[in-house]
Each structure stands twice: as structure tokens, then as C-alpha cells.
Structure 1
Amino acid sequence: MLDKFLLFTPGPVNVAETLRLAISKEDICHREPDFDALLGSIEHKLISLFQIRNRARYRAVVITGSGTAANEAILSSVVGKGAILILSNGEFGGRLHKISLIHNKKTHLINMPWGTPFDLTQIATYLATHKIDVVAMAHHETCSGMLNPLAEIGALAKANGALFVVDGVSSVGAEGIDMEACNIAFVSSSSSKAIGSYPGLSFVVGRKKHFKRLKRHAAKTTYLNLATFYAFLKDHSQTPNTPAVPLFFALEQALIDILREGVTKRFARIKARADLLRDGMRRLNLDFLIEEADMCSILTTVRMPPSMSVRDLRDRLREKSIIIYEGKGCFAGKVFQVGNIGELSDYDIRFFLAALKDVLLTLQADAADLVAPVRPMGANLLMPPSSDRMQVKVVV
């Protein structure tokens, strides 16, 4: 056992020591200039994180609540009496649809099977034949690891006079999101995923002109009304409700660390970690759920060898202080997920790969009636390439 858990998950994540110090800073009142300055500093850094060129055209509000809070703030605030089209190919697209149904009577849905890329021709046809005011989509569909296209969907929305809003909860901080080029009106995200801070804060970055138009719509919620957040930010440099102040200190420090490293360098480092993990798992002859070209750089979804249990794999890795995700929904029991964000070193990744190999060999031995005898000395774990293989083989 290590002296801490290694969180190979898409969030929460292991945080840097700088954040542990930041969250313990002095107590301040959120209605004093100290907090005004802190919120302004965070907003400035969020705009820098997105590498927005026309900075004066954008604002960023911070919400005390998880990424779902930011998504609900958008979906309950931007549609008004208009129509919204939700694009879903997984759990979080489905969550956007569920939220929108609560707040918007004219909610449309294009629903693809989990892990299936969107059909751009289908979307274009739908937008051409329906009056749609807003298009919403999850950028990174965490249930499969698929990264959905921003530029193409943004162009279709613009061509049909619709706003484009994006759930960037698990991709912001690891993937480039060009709000200007992709015609994104609003994007949401969270503190605890690729940004690498503690859970409990979310934010919405958007065009100033779109924030201003929110006051035209009747409020559908109190706490998550995006127009209210924008008014308090613009008029008072504050939040409308009592914020989780220590988490704001931690978020600012996380953004300081990212910008000090450089956004582009950070993206490349996270991608290199993903490549190291994927190469190691390929060497164990494990199969991935989707094509690597479609994957986000924060997460890999791996098919489980059918002679083994995901729960057993998870429990055995936990005994070695490693935490992974199980698959959900239609992927439950069929896949496991390995994240590579937060404070994970190359050494941690190699430790994980060695532990994974050891656990798979152990589980293979436990399923001795389905597999060949294990030879631990110099053995390499190999599996037949067929997706419907029924056993794991160990060869020397």
C-alpha cells in the first residue's frame, strides 16, 4: 500500500501541494474587497486558459456547485421560450437532455448510441427542418471517452441562427476549446477535473453580448439563474450567494500553476501521459472501447476480458492504492476507465501499469478453468485480438 490513493479517474483528482496550501489561506468575507479581487483574478485567468484573443468580449462567472450546476445554469437561462436541440451520444448528453426537459418545453433531441460519433448530415438536416434557437452538446462524453467535434457543430449552429452551448466539464484544462472559432456562446466546466483543483466549484465562460441578453428571459430558477450571476459580477465583482471561499483560493492557485506551465505545454503533457498509459495497456493486449483518434486525452475506456470481473479488478487495484472507474449504463461490467489527470507522475503511471499486469495475471489464475496455466516468471499478458474472445492467454 502507498501512503495515499492514486486517483486514475476523470475527477476528482490528486491535487498539487500548492493547492493544499492555498485552500488553507486566511479567512475572508465574501462581501469585502478581498473577495472582489480574488474573483477578478480568477476570471482573468479563466479567460487566459481559454486563450481567448478578444478578451474584452467575454466574461466568466464562478458558481459554488459541481459541473452539473453550471450546465443547469446555462440550460435554465439561455433558452427562454425558444427551442433547444440536445445532441447526445452518452451519459452526459443524456443528462443535458434531462435537465433541459425540466426547464424548457421545446426540448428536441438527437440521440445516438453511447460511444457512437454524431452524424453531421443528420444534424444539418434536422437544423434545416426545425426552428432551433440553441444547440447543446457535451464536448467530452466521459462514459465512453469520446471527444465530440466543436468546430463542425458550431458551424452548423451558426449557419442556422442558433446559439451553441457546450458542456466542457471534463475537457477544459486538457483540450483546446477555441470559443471564437467554434462559435461557442457559453461553455461550462468544473474545478475538479482537468483543471486539477478540489471539487465544489464550476464556471461558465461566455460572450458578453449573450450574457446581456439573458435578462430578456423570465427566471426559471433562483440559485442557478445565469443572468443574476452575470449582474453581480458586472455590478459588484461578486457572486449572488455565499461562495465556498476556500475553494476559490484553490481554483486560483490551480489556474496560476497551469498558466505558469503554459496552456499548450500542459495540454501536451496530459496527452503524453495518455499515450504512455495507452501504450502500456496495448502491451498487455487490452482492447479500447473506441478508436484512439476519437478519444479525449484525459481518459481511456478499456474493454474488460470476459473471463474477469470489473469489480474484482477494481477491488484488487484498490488494495494497491489505485482507484479506477467502472463502466456505467450499457457499458457496466464490460469496461473499466483509467484517467490520467491531476498530480500523477510518469512513475505513478508505470506503477499503475505494473500493478495492472499483476492483478490481471492474478485474476487470470483465479479463472483457471478458462485460461492456460500462468507462468509468472517473464510472462507477458497477451489476449487474442477478437473482441469476442473467451479467454486470456499468457505466453513466454
Structure 2
Amino acid sequence: ASSAPSASSSSASLRQCWYADDSSALGKLHGILVWFRALRRIGLSYGYHPEAAKSFLVVKPELKRIARELFEPEGVQIVTGKRFLGGYVGDEGVRAAFLCEKVERWVRGVRALTSAARNFPHTAHAAMTRSLQMEWDYVFRIVLTDECALSPLREAIAKELLPALLGGPVTPSEVDLMLLLVRHGGTGIRDPLDRTAAAYPASRASTKVVFKSVQGKAPFHPGDHRATIRHALTQSKQQQDVAHKTKREAAPPHIDRRRHRVLSRSTEYKTSGWLTILPSTDNNTGLDAAEFRDALNMRYGRHPPGLAARCDHCNQPLTVDHALCCKRYGLVIRRHNELRDTFAELIGMVWGDADVRREVVLKEGEEGEGGTLPKTDRPSPS
């Protein structure tokens, strides 16, 4: 109790930030020194033991000498820039090195997914859209990032990851399309150059209430904070939609009319749900390499890799349309049977096997035999 007044007086001129047991303070050097000593003294009574060797004092370059004189006896490390809560505070030069290190790690992550995409493109796509790109999206929200530093990252995505997902080379105009949101005809892999331009302003706008409260300029009201977040996110989403729509409309002049029609259908008729679903063995939502690549290539009007030049059954040129419509190729019957079996399985799961019966198909008898023979087919819904 006797030390409480000294602690409150030492922190009166400081702005403190606590995240779990990580403490930080912003203020004048002498005030921070008094606060740090009080924290080490009072914290012992509560089981809190600040370690000076793991503590960093971020100062301006011109204040390093004074900071050393004050804090070296405490064992605190003096730096001009340091990682803080996933972001960065401090000198611009050190921030550039911090971002370069981040970009190098992200590029390694993209290349690891590229290696996985050769055999498991659906899983690699899900890992990219749901995990890896969220890492740099967070950094973009809290650190003002130079677009030039992100060029290696975008190049790795455009020249390595996307070709691995598609199973073939990708043109620059196709890259621009694929790096859009799914609802705008993209793959959901976002362009890091676009994100860094939009994420930081949106983050500043959404945290305006907290920012003013920490500065002591206004009291904090949770309702105002939530309303500010909703407004900022809505505005950011609208701006993002306009930008992506503009990029999507700028791409078609570089492609033929047939592909233009294919791209328009994917956005107008909302046929992109399969790209946003996580692959799952339990829910049977995972696509193998051939299925995923065929679907992704057809989405952008490309020729699926590995498709033969001519139909084996009628010797016609084997285009995607012919493969889907040829009555002798077998895909029509196969698609019908897959849908039939899926419906039968779902009905059996809901109402039980009693409502699913096996349809008896009659076929002609073998040569020399009269009559017909029953043939048990796959389950069909009753």
C-alpha cells in the first residue's frame, strides 16, 4: 500500500499499454525510468518479475547517449526500433529491415506452398487464402508498408504459386484477374500491393476511438468504437469492390470473346462457392489435383491440362464443350450417376436406408439364353 502512490505518480505522465503480461509505456526518459523501477519493485508482490535483459527501450537516434546513461545500470537494451505486438515501432531505417525480413519469410512460405501445390493444389490454395496471406494482411494493417518492398512477394505469387495451381504458365492479364476476390472472378489470393494500400488507412479509421482515448483526448465508449469499426470496414469494402471491379473490367480487352463470356458467367451467376470451401475428407469437399486444376482452368476459359486433342470415341476435336456433351464419351452418364449416388447417400443419412432402394435394371440375356436377366445397380432414391 505504501508503494502504490509512487507507482501512480510515476505513471501519471505516461501512456501504458498492457497485453496479457507484456507491459509497455510511452513518455519521457526520466518518467519511464521511474516507472520501470517502480514496476520491478511492486511487481514482486504480485508474482510479476520484469526481466531487464528482455526489456527494450526504443528511442530516437539523438537520444541514445542519454538513454544509455540512464538505463544501462538497469540492464535494459537501448534500440532505435523494435518489433511490437506483431508490428513495429521506431526508426524508419530499421523498419525497412524489419519489413524485408518479413517479406523474405513470406516468400519462403509461398514457395513451400508452391511445392505442395504440385500434388495438392486445393489444399495449397486453402492454406494460402486462409492462413499465409492473413499474416501479411495483419502487418499491413499496423505498419505503413512500402510497396517496393513487396515486389518479391508478388512476383513469387504470380510466377510460382499461380502456375503451380493451374498446372501451366500464366499471363500477366490472367494474374491480374486471379489476384482478385472470389466474388469478382478471382481466386481469393489477394494482391499484396493492393492490400498494403488499403489495409493501413482502414485500420487507422477503425481504431479512431481507441486512438483518441489512449491520447487522453476523449473518453472511451464501446458503442462508439463498434460503430466506428462497422463504418470503416463497410467503407473499405465498398472501395475495395470498386477497385476490383475496375481491374476486372480492364482485363477482358486482352482476351477473346469466348473467355470473356466465361469470366462474366463466373461473376454474374455466382459460381465461385467451391473456391471458398475448405477441403475436408469428412464432408467430401476436397478436390484432387486433376479436379481442382480442371475447375480452375475452366473458370478462366483455359484448356484443362492433359486433355487429349481428339475424342477417343467419335474422333472429334476434344474441347471442353465436347467432353461435357459427347454422348459416347461417357461423362454425361458418369455425371448423372454421381448426382444419383450423392442424392441416395444424403437421403439414406436423413431418413435411413429404408427409403433408398436398389433399382433393378433389365438387360438382354446372353447369346443362346432366352428372356432377360436382372442387374442390380447402384442405390437410387425412391
Do these two structures clear the TM 0.5 threshold for a shared fold by scoring above it? no
* TM-score normalised per structure 1: 0.21
Answer 1 or 2: which has greater helix percent. 2
* TM-score normalised per structure 2: 0.21
- Which structure has more relative contact order (CA 8 Å, sep 6+)? It is 1
